[in-house]
């Protein structure tokens, strides 16, 4: 069975990330907020898929256990990525608050 490449995680990075700052439509933070919202929605979808495949694997209705393993790993890695971004955002906010004091 050939191994298919893992698709990029949608919603985690904005599509204009590599285009440079000139391509950003505004500086009101809406693009960043939309990216975070998309990431959270994607995490929920990945976790739902992972849970469904895990239940199928436990009940014996899953033919290929690799699908369940890959789905669980995708959900875990995506959650870790979003948590790291959140932590960096909180750290940056705290640093800005220290600068103003």
Instruction: Indicate the pLDDT class of residue 6, thresholds 50, 70 and 90.
Output: low
| Sequence-distant (≥ 6) Cβ neighbours of residue 10 within 8 angstroms | 38, 42
Rounded distance between C-alpha atoms, residue 42 and residue 21, angstroms: 25
pLDDT tens digit string along 40-85?
898 999 999 999 999 999 998 988 899 899 999 999 998 998 899 8
- Residue-range domain boundaries for the chain: 29-100
Instruction: Indicate the pLDDT class of residue 21, thresholds 50, 70 and 90.
Output: very low
Mean pLDDT of the chain: 80
Rounded distance between C-alpha atoms, residue 74 and residue 100, angstroms: 39
């Amino acid at each position: 069975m050939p191994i298919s490449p893992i698709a990029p995680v949608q919603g985690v990075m904005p599509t204009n990330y590599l285009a440079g700052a000139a391509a950003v439509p505004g500086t009101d933070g809406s693009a960043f907020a939309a990216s975070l919202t998309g990431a959270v929605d994607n995490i929920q979808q990945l976790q739902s898929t992972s849970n469904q495949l895990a239940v199928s694997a436990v009940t014996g209705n899953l033919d290929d256990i690799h699908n369940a393993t890959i789905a669980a790993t995708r959900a875990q890695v995506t959650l870790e990525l979003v948590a790291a971004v959140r932590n960096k955002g909180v750290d940056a906010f705290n640093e800005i608050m220290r600068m103003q004091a």
